[in-house]
Structure 1
């Protein structure tokens, strides 16, 4: 299961970075609070992360996902955070 969640995070990162031009380290810092997150988790398949980190990262991606880009079909998308949604509407 952890590998599936890891694959989700990397897929979200790849699509987001490709469409926004953001670097992996910038996204890792914003989404996970650690600019080396993807390097640490990607370089060591045995490296672990908490489900809370996964949830926080997926929420960040959902809240900041570009409107013109489709969310990957095989990854459950959390609802947008109400605070972020209100800020975007203002």
Structure 2
């Protein structure tokens, strides 16, 4: 079992690492705001947006099952009515 002093030392180290990570994130965000947008076909922001959309789509049936069921019914109905 770890002693109180060891746990406090580990906690201090973890807080320092967290502060360093937060500082690095702030620097990265600041540099992204200052940077000009790139005109690549697949920019990192586009990939991030697609990832967010896919994550939301994966969670949607679990968060709102009634809306998911109604949407599936509506899509099925529309596809069934097409000729």
TM-score normalised to the size of structure 1? 0.22
Q: Which has the higher helix share?
A: 2
Q: TM-score, normalised by structure 2?
A: 0.24
Whichever of the two has the greater Rg, that structure is: 2
Q: Which has the higher contact order (CA 8 A, sep 6+)?
A: 1
